[in-house]
Structure 1
Amino acid sequence: MKAHFFSLLLLAPFVSRAESDAVTVAYKGYADTYYGYDFNEPVNHRRPGFLYNHTTTDAPAVNLALIQVELNGGWYHASLGLMAGTYSRINLAAEPDLLQHFYDTYVGVALNRSRTLWLDVGEFSSHIGFESAIGADNYTLSRSLMAENSPYFLTGGRLTWKPKKEWELAFLVVDGWQRVRPLAGNSLPGFGTKVAWTPHDRLLLNWSTYAGSEFPDDQRRMRYFNNLYAHLVLSSAVSMYLGCDIGWQQRATSGNNLWWSPNAILRWKLDDRWATAFRVEQYNDASGVIVSLPGRTALTGVSFNVDRQISKNLLFRVEMRYLRNSSPAFQRGDSLLRSSTSLLASFSIRFS
């Protein structure tokens, strides 16, 4: 009885506040269709295995089709997203078929009266990086190497606190490195943190981390990961992202294996309808912790895209991308080449 009484006391502030809050329900939708051409003409009609978006070549395809329902009750909120497309099929290939179709599905509750402290539980977008699965929100049509090879989503609990307008802090306990279900035999959850500082509307600085093991307990090897990026608005037309990932994982014997990836994206908005973006990037993973290619993983890439905002909800994009590895890694017939050039076009539509 005492336990129930104290529970009611703890919930009283939220219940009393909730009585005056109107519950709102929002419906959102998004679809990203594309056609890709790889000049190496791979026989399996697939882009390289370290890419998870826009992976089909020589045929029209749907990268992501998404329907989302969001509930907001003031002191609580919830989200249910259902998705399909090549992104969900490739990126969640290790999960059961049913679980491959959930996107941002969670419930959350405010833990203070000012509603600046929130606890969310479920599957939610990753706190790592500045690119998401929603392509229309990104500066480039394709995703960067660092985005493709770090988590797009996490499953577990997330505590988010915004003590001031300029600051956002988060702490996460999750099932692992982009997993819906924990790895069998691994009792150690993954842990994440985020610190974001926006001193004014022209600058954002972010530092996100992850720590955990992707091995069973009897083979435990810790993985530590840092993501840092800055978003700079240089003028009303020009803005850019500068980012860097660096991670290390314990070896089976002793020492650590290191991987790292720098990235820069410059976007120029010509007017309300037209925009361009240029990206230069690297991905270095000599030990093949995340990306294992024949020989050695030392990728360099450049891309250029042109965007046409046809209407408020409809976006057309075209992108040319060039990737090169230090050793032959890209399939062309029965041979391996050091480089890959691709052309990608996309129509995306959204509603809310």
Structure 2
Amino acid sequence: MKPLVLLTATALLTASAAMAQTTPDSTAAAAAPANPLTTYGFVDGYYGYDFKHAATNQRPGFLYSHNRQNEFTVNNAVIGLRYDNGQVRGALGLHAGTYVSANYAAEDQVLKHLYEAYAGFRPFKKAWLDVGIFGSHIGFESALSKDNWTLTRSLMAENSPYYEAGARLTYEVSPKLTLTGLVLNGWQNIRENNQAKAVGTQIQWKPTDKLLINSSTFYGNEQPQDSVRRRRYFHDFYVSYAATDRLSLALVFDVGKQQADRPTGDNSEQYDTWHTGAAFVRYQLAEQWTAALRGEYYKAERGVIINAYAPAVSDANVFIRGGSLGLDYAPTGNVLVRLEGRVLNAADKVFREAGGATRSTYTNLTSSIALSF
């Protein structure tokens, strides 16, 4: 326990983190709003179609957002309250949809419908201490499609945390630099699955109004209590740049390592490694029209993270690359109509067709109408 306490204290005091770009409650020591209690809502209705798909309405198992095909349905519907008087704050949000069914499948049936639920206060000027369930400090993309440049999520976003449960200390060093340290139940789990705690950090630096640089880390043991302990180390980095009033660019790179199972007779310490990258280009075509292009890849030794919780020695490596092109139409400030085409290509034949055949290429179309208030 002492090493964990020391590591936790170090994470909180050395300040490694800032809340992710897409987290809705990124904080500054601002004056209290006129009305501290606000309501919010979001609903994302969609229809997707997979080409040469298997005899199922389910998309590949490593996709959690917009993961149904040939079906009119709702990805995520959220309703909630937030309170912030400048000294005390909190939030309670409920959600449901296919994203919740897929991404919260391992959670308690009651807890899985909590989009966020936390309470916090200022322990000192320019700092917030929050405890509860909140958006992840990891990643360029969030659970709400309206906040993302593309409709569907990248492979790296789908296979890293969207949400967390724990305590976070956020400190605004200056208007350009925010630091956060976190103690968490684990890697995207509300209900704890062992006696260990994880720690996370984040640095978010905005040297100019056009440039944002983010660095996030995670360390923890994510195996169930009755399993062999396997340490997981992870780093997420992204940079976004508004090149012009119309053109925006972003680069994202993640790398992680997890202690690995070893062949019989091999006593050395080994790790399964995964790394993934994505490039985004967003261009405003006209006042209400925007296009977005994404290129990405995902490589995981023995399918660690993307395919298996604790991969076996005999499991195959995973390598997938792909791209997407999307078109957005915003008839009003709180409505977004989107259409996106996507293609993925794997090193092995991992995508199933009708009749049981497999192939290495997967393509789909996804459309959505989202309303927020």
| TM-score (norm. length: structure 1) | 0.91
Distance 1:266 1:21 in 2: 35
CA contact (8 A) 2:340 2:365 kept: yes
* Matching residue of 2:214: 206
CA contact (8 A) 1:53 1:87 kept: yes
* Matching residue of 2:306: 291
- The 3-state SS of whatever aligns with 2:157 is helix
Write out aligned runs for 1:43-62 (5 A). 43-62=55-74
* Matching residue of 2:163: 153
- The 3-state SS of whatever aligns with 1:90 is helix
* Matching residue of 1:88: 100
| Correspondence for 2:321 among 296, 300, 320 | 300
- The 3-state SS of whatever aligns with 1:262 is strand
- The 3-state SS of whatever aligns with 1:324 is strand
Write out aligned runs for 1:312-327 (5 A). 312-327=333-348
| Correspondence for 1:197 among 205, 226, 245 | 205
* Matching residue of 1:127: 137
Encode CA deviations 1:40-93: one digit per residue, 9 max, x unaligned.
Answer: 222121111001000111110100000010011220101000000001111000
Encode CA deviations 1:222-280: one digit per residue, 9 max, x unaligned.
Answer: 00000000011100000011000000001134211100001000000112200000000
Distance 2:147 2:224 in 1: 36
| Correspondence for 2:186 among 172, 176, 181 | 176
* Matching residue of 1:167: 177
Number of corresponding residues: 328
* Matching residue of 1:330: 351
| TM-score (norm. length: structure 2) | 0.86
Amino acid aligned to 1:268:
Y
- The 3-state SS of whatever aligns with 2:277 is strand
Distance 2:99 2:171 in 1: 31
Encode CA deviations 1:278-325: one digit per residue, 9 max, x unaligned.
Answer: 000000012211112884310001000000001111110000000010
Distance 1:312 1:262 in 2: 31
Distance 2:170 2:316 in 1: 42
Unmatched 5+ stretches in structure 2: 1-31, 263-268, 309-314
| Correspondence for 1:39 among 20, 43, 51 | 51
Distance 1:30 1:262 in 2: 29
Larger RCO (alpha carbons 8 Å, 6+ apart): 2
- Are positions 1:240 and 2:252 aligned together? no
Amino acid aligned to 1:50:
F
CA contact (8 A) 1:23 1:74 kept: no
Distance 2:119 2:52 in 1: 45
Amino acid aligned to 1:296:
N
Amino acid aligned to 2:144:
I
CA contact (8 A) 2:45 2:73 kept: yes
Encode CA deviations 1:320-345: one digit per residue, 9 max, x unaligned.
Answer: 00001000000102111101000000
CA contact (8 A) 2:33 2:84 kept: no
Distance 1:215 1:51 in 2: 22
* Matching residue of 2:261: 252
Distance 2:176 2:33 in 1: 26
- The 3-state SS of whatever aligns with 2:279 is strand
* Matching residue of 1:75: 87
Distance 1:148 1:206 in 2: 19
Encode CA deviations 1:173-214: one digit per residue, 9 max, x unaligned.
Answer: 00010000111xx21101100001100111011100000011
- State, as a whole percentage, how many aligned pairs show the same letter: 39
- The 3-state SS of whatever aligns with 2:303 is coil
**Using a 3 Å threshold, how does the CA distance of structure 1 residues 175 and 43 change in structure 2: closer, same or farther?**
same
CA contact (8 A) 1:22 1:74 kept: no
Deviation at 1:97, TM superposition (A): 1.3
Deviation at 1:105, TM superposition (A): 1.0
Q: CA RMSD in A?
A: 1.4
- The 3-state SS of whatever aligns with 2:100 is helix
| Correspondence for 1:221 among 213, 221, 230 | 230
Amino acid aligned to 1:170:
T
Encode CA deviations 1:148-168: one digit per residue, 9 max, x unaligned.
Answer: 000000001011011100101
> Which stretches of structure 1, 4 residues or more, deviate above 4 A after TM superposition?
20-23
